Amino acid sequence: MQLELFLDLETYCETPIKNGTHAYAENAEVMVFAWALNDGEVHVEDLTAAPMSKELKGLLKDQSVKLIAHNSGFDRTVLRHAMPQFDLKIERWEDTMVQALSHSLPGALGSLCEIFGLESDVAKDKAGKQLIQLFCKPQPANRAHRRATSETHPEKWAEFLAYAKNDILAMRELRKKMPKWNYRNSELALWHLDQTINDRGVCIDMDLVQSAMEAVEKAQKVLAKQTKEMTNGEVEAATQRDAMLKHILDAHGVSLPDMQKATLERRLNDDSLPLAVRELIAIRLQASTTSTAKYKALSLGTNSDGRLRGTLQFNGASRTGRWAGRLFQPQNLPRPALNQDVIDFGIEALKADCADLFVENVMELTSSAIRGCITAPEGKKLVITDLSNIEGRGLAWLAGEEWKNQAFRDFDNGTGHDLYKLAYSKSFNVPPESVDKEQRQVGKVQELALGYEGGVGAFLTFAAAYGLDLDAMAEQAIGGIDQGVMNEAIRAYEWHKKERRNTFGLKRDTWLVCDSFKRSWRYAHPNISAWWSELKNTAIKALTNSGTAYPCRKVVMMKKNSWLLIKLPSGRFLCYPGARAETDGRISYMGNCQYSRKWKRLYTYGGKFAENITQAFSRDVLAYNMPEIESENYEIVLTVHDEVITEAPDLPRFNHESLSRLLAANPEWAIDLPLAAAGFESYRYKKD
């Protein structure tokens, strides 16, 4: 029988855990080691009072013993620093948190206990958290002791040791109750690779980080001074949201709904607004860039050897299994507002402490330069590649939109047009070869917004993300739209107005153009449009006939116990716990609400199924070739969406063409998928 060691650590460290596990672990002390072998008794070893037991030492050294923890990245990393004598290979580990995330369940132990009906005493849990606050962190300066210990708080320490058993008991039961469909074989091996990547980390230019933080601080003071002068001292800084809104209303009679970036950007060039309001909006936009927090996260989270680790969460993106970002959130970096040559020059100016002499907007520069903090170490280079329009390709292949599959093949062969340019050319009635880089972005927004049953609202969301001026776009496009399609859009607009439906505050012509784009896209993609309703109908069929598998193009749906499962071409499952077909024709399931972060009943539809499936499929394509990339000595240090960032020896034989070929190799389960990748080499990370 396989020996399984369940373990959980209680630790102390002066470094805050919010700085990241790897920064924390460098100086962490293991105080308590709770463990249990298989279903045996839970042991709690107080390492502040006595050395580790021989039995536990033997189990840790025995390479045949499997090690199981909840959020094992923490325990494994702390042990590697605190007890380097044990060779705790990554392949020995399993993780109940990752097991949960792999099946669209929340990662928190308490939430899982609630979902699976494990007995939990809320009062005890609250008391346990208070004990952790007491013993695992430095105490405030006004307390009698800087650090609470068994000597300073003997009774509380006894409670702490008793509490340490709880997580072992919970994770052991949860491991039995949770499914393992997506947590075995190749997926388990992929998680082990993910842990290697997280341990490897990325090399950080700490001089740039420090210089950027100082430049931001200096710029914020200048912006605060300008704000104070323009508001006669009513607003101390542009980052004071409520004070700024009140001043603009009281002094200028302008009521802004909020201070969100998209709202402010739309009003920035509104000539009907007083000039002073537009200047305050411009200052607010500068002052509220997110780069400040990201630079701080880099500063605090980077290890003493200059590398930032632990930036990826395996299966962190709910449902799809994509990687999520941690610490400085590499999956959510701002789009550069400046050209790369300006950014490169700006980085040198920042490091020379003179950026304000060369650029008007230092905040814009630091936001655009954040990627440049990731660099290649000495003797190496960054080799980077990205799957080309993988979601567009995946959606067309999954739904059987053959004309589009062929269009992708033609483009890859050099005989066809870029699909984003093609989308723009069809909408604006211009030749594809005349479409420039900015116009291509409009086509890209169409493709991204409309493939999952999205309409005007989805178009608006993606347009804001890519900085499109919808009014200007509509003015250009309206004359080239098919009159029949435009007539349909006009009737829809009139209905929306009559029924008082949301038109998102758009001008009439802008709304009509966005709606016309939606209609034209759907007419051009009959198989994708039909797939949306097929997915919904197949899901209802599966939910009302438990245990029967129903194919839907290239996926298969079935209900198992209370789960709706969608089998992907890779063999992995999309999981919808607690799924059911409602009497009103809707489909619901249990999941984490993205707004409240609470576990509750959510609703889905055909287009959302298509989005989940396509994004999960895209993740599987990316993941399929990662082991081969590693085997060819391209060391993966990060994945961002569909991009792979590697470190390789600074030699000609390691190049982006070679890496792109490796990434774009077809899996055996998608051998006819039109697949391509393109990349670049650099000593500093950038947006290509």
- 506-561 tens-digit pLDDT: 999 999 999 999 999 999 999 999 999 999 999 999 999 999 999 999 999 999 99
Q: Please report the beta strands in 394-524, taking only residues with DSSP state E, as ranges in sequence order.
A: none
Per-residue pLDDT for 360 more than 90? no
Both tokens assigned to 659: 């890496």
Nearest to 286, CA basis, from 259, 254, 246: 259
The answer to which of 315-324, 330-339, 423-432 has the lowest mean pLDDT is 423-432
Both tokens assigned to 254: 């302008």
Residues in contact with 110: Cβ distance below 8 Å, sequence separation at least 6, in sequence order: 120, 125
pLDDT of residue 688: 84
pLDDT of residue 38: 97
Both tokens assigned to 352: 């020379």
Span 653-663, pLDDT tens digits = 999 999 999 99
Per-residue pLDDT for 606 more than 60? yes
Q: What is the mean pLDDT of residues 262-272?
A: 78
Q: How confident is the model at residue 200 (pLDDT cuts 50, 70, 90)?
A: very high
pLDDT of residue 118: 87
pLDDT of residue 122: 52
pLDDT of residue 484: 92
| 516: helix, strand or coil | helix
Task: Give the 3-state DSSP-derived string for 80-126, with helices as H, strands as E and coil as C.
Answer: HHHCCCCCCCHHHEEEHHHHHHCCCCCCCHHHHHHHCCCCCCHHHHH
Task: Give dist(CA 146, CA 589) in Å, integer.
Answer: 48
Residue 656 neighbours by CB distance under 10 Å: 22
Q: What is the mean pLDDT of residues 255-259?
A: 84
- Helix, strand, coil in percent for the chain, rounding step 5: 50, 15, 35
CA angle at 133 for the pair 131 and 134, rounded to the nearest 5°: 60
CA-CA distances (angstroms) from residue 283 to 209, 257, 466, 653? 23, 18, 21, 48
Instruction: Please give the CATH number for the structural domain made up of 376-398+550-688.
Output: 3.90.1600
pLDDT of residue 277: 86
CA-CA distances (angstroms) from residue 236 to 204, 227, 229, 263, 281? 34, 7, 9, 22, 15
Q: What is the mean pLDDT of residues 213-229?
A: 89
This prediction's pTM: 0.92
DSSP secondary structure letter of residue 493: H
pLDDT of residue 295: 94
Q: How confident is the model at residue 290 (pLDDT cuts 50, 70, 90)?
A: low
Q: What is the mean pLDDT of residues 344-364?
A: 92
DSSP secondary structure letter of residue 311: -
Start-to-end C-alpha separation, the chain: 52
The answer to which of 59-73, 189-203, 224-238, 261-275 has the lowest mean pLDDT is 261-275
pLDDT of residue 121: 57
Task: Spell out the domain ranges in the chain.
Answer: 4-178, 201-375, 376-398+550-688, 402-524
Q: What is the mean pLDDT of residues 481-501?
A: 93
Task: Give dist(CA 14, CA 136) in Å, integer.
Answer: 9
Per-residue pLDDT for 124 more than 60? no
Find where tokens 């980390």 sit: 201
The answer to which of 182-191, 333-342, 619-628 has the lowest mean pLDDT is 333-342
pLDDT of residue 120: 63
Q: What is the mean pLDDT of residues 143-152?
A: 85
| Range 4-178 classified under CATH 3.30.70.2500 | no
Task: Give dist(CA 679, CA 636) in Å, integer.
Answer: 14
Span 9-57, pLDDT tens digits = 999 999 999 999 999 999 999 999 999 999 999 999 999 999 999 999 9
Task: Give the 3-state DSSP-derived string for 344-387, with helices as H, strands as E and coil as C.
Answer: HHHHHHHHCCCHHHHCCCHHHHHHHCHHHHEECCCCEEEEEEEE
Per-residue pLDDT for 400 more than 90? yes
pLDDT of residue 91: 96
pLDDT of residue 45: 97
